[in-house]
Amino acid sequence: MTRRAVRAWVWVHRWSSLVCTLFALLLCLTGLPLIFKDELGPDLKLAATTAPPGSASVDSMVARALAARPGEVVPYLFYDREHPILKVPTAASMTDDPASFHYQVFDTRTGQQIEIPQPNEGFLYVMTRLHLDLFSGVPGTLFLGFMGLLLVVAIVSGVVLYGPFTRRLAFGVVRTDGSRWRTWLDLHNLLGIVTLAWFGVVSFTGVINTLAAPIELAWQANQLVEMAAQAKPAEIEGQRASTDAVLRDVRAAVPGMNVMTVAFPGTPFATPSHVAIFLTGNTPITSRILKPALADASTGQVVSVRDMPWYATALFMSQPLHFGDYGGLPLKIIWALLDAATIVVLISGLYLWWAKRPRRGGAVEAESSAS
């Protein structure tokens, strides 16, 4: 590589890193506890029972949730990937912001209500919001996505620079016989190149995850409308099919899949006259890919089942690769250790720039080890 090319790459690496470093650090630090979300989450204290999951009446749970919150409506039902529970949110209206939901949790085997703290408060919630959108909704998420994109640029330019900067060194050598700056440079290069693939994958899938809102909007505007158009709603005045009946029909229509989410008529994920049911499969990959089904709200009949479009599938596939929650506790620990290594890369990078930055009246020091 010519000297000029190295200089150009150094410039790209320096500035793409500097712009996003503080946010990248925030993401790495807040991400650390989020890896162990399940382990740190509330204890459900599930009762011992021989009843299979899903045997209790959902309609009864919804009725009890509404009775406890007079004047509110139930926009969605959320099942849990790991536990036999149903989260029933209530809100002032069907289109309310999910951040304002009040949740009640039920055991799907017995129908018993479980007392746990609201999921939208506490330490993990603060960490989640900082990691997801800096408490500023979709604009915050898209901003963090842009920072993640700069981080990907920093990782790529860092790999390009690894060549010229370690040309005379054996792999993994950290020189401690020179300046402190050189020692930290070697450490930065070692940790950076070793964690490169993991950091690249997590950063890139994180960027894809920030596109969730536009992807949802695209699905609502295209596929949802098409699905609803497949069958004329019965619209029998005042008649509402029971949720239990709808769930039974859907499970018969789409065997071998689990119901993850139910969106009631009037929410952005259903239509005014249909219930939308989102199902998932049983393997690490298919448990992430949602398959939507629409049921007529009056009769409860399933009118349409179809796969999500490719762009939504790309989003679902990138989720496990970002969370690291698909390989048991050992994988989570590996995730945390790799995260810690990248934190050292970020901080050492910041130090390398700070110690070498041009002082007033001083000349810019050339990168002596690269030529």
The residue within the footprint of other proteins, chosen from 74, 114, 191, 294 (CB under 8 A), is 191
**Looking at beta carbons only, is 98 or 178 nearer to other proteins?**
178
Closest CA to 308 of 271, 279, 273: 279
Question: Hunting for tokens 């039902």 — which residue is that?
Answer: 77
Could you tell me the smallest distance in angstroms from the CB atom of residue 113 to other proteins?
35
Q: Helix, strand, coil % (nearest 5) of the chain?
A: 50, 10, 35
Q: Is 4 in the site for other proteins (CB under 8 A)?
A: no
Give the one residue of 330, 358, 361, 362 binding other proteins; rule: CB under 8 A.
Answer: 330
Rounded to whole angstroms, how far apart are CA atoms 92 and 99?
A: 12
Q: Determine, following the binding rule CB under 8 A, whether residue 36 of this chain makes contact with other proteins.
A: no
Among 29, 149, 156, 194, binds other proteins (CB under 8 A): 194
User: Strands 274-280 and 258-263: what pairing?
Assistant: antiparallel
How many angstroms from the chain centroid is the CA of residue 25? 17
Report the site for other proteins in 200-239 (rule: CB under 8 A). 201
Interface stretch with other proteins, choices 86-94, 214-222, 227-235, 334-342 (CB under 8 A): 334-342
Q: Which is nearer to other proteins, 98 or 327 (CB)?
A: 327
Rounded to the nearest 10°, the torsion over CA 304, 305, 306, 308 is 110
What are the contacts of 328-331 at 24+ separation with CB within 8 A? 329/39
Closest separation between CB of residue 358 and other proteins, Å? 30
362 interacts with other proteins by CB under 8 A: no
Size of residue set near other proteins by CB under 8 A: 37
Please report the DSSP string for 275-330 in residue order. Answer: EEEEEE-SSTTTTTS-EEEEEETTT--EEEE-PPPHHHHHHHHHHHHHH--SSHHH
Distance CA 231, CA 182 (A): 69
Q: Which of these, 120, 131, 80, lies nearest to 322 by C-alpha position?
A: 131
Among 22, 217, 229, 337, binds other proteins (CB under 8 A): 337
**343 binding other proteins? (CB under 8 A):** no
Among 124, 134, 234, 334, binds other proteins (CB under 8 A): 334
Closer Cβ to other proteins, 168 or 359, answer by number: 168
Nearer to other proteins, 87 or 322 (CB): 322
Q: Is residue 321 within the footprint of other proteins (CB under 8 A)?
A: yes
Asked whether position 52 contacts other proteins by CB under 8 A, the answer is no
Tokens (6 digits) for 325: 């929650």
Contacts of 188 (CB under 8 A, 6+ apart): 345, 348, 349, 352
Does 117 participate in binding other proteins (rule CB under 8 A)? Answer: no
Task: Report residue 171 as tokens.
Answer: 């792999």
**254 to 293: interface string for other proteins, x by CB under 8 A:** -----------------------------xxx--------
Q: Residue numbers of the site for other proteins (CB under 8 A)?
A: 162-163, 166-177, 190-191, 193-198, 201, 283-285, 320-321, 326-328, 330-331, 334, 337-338, 341
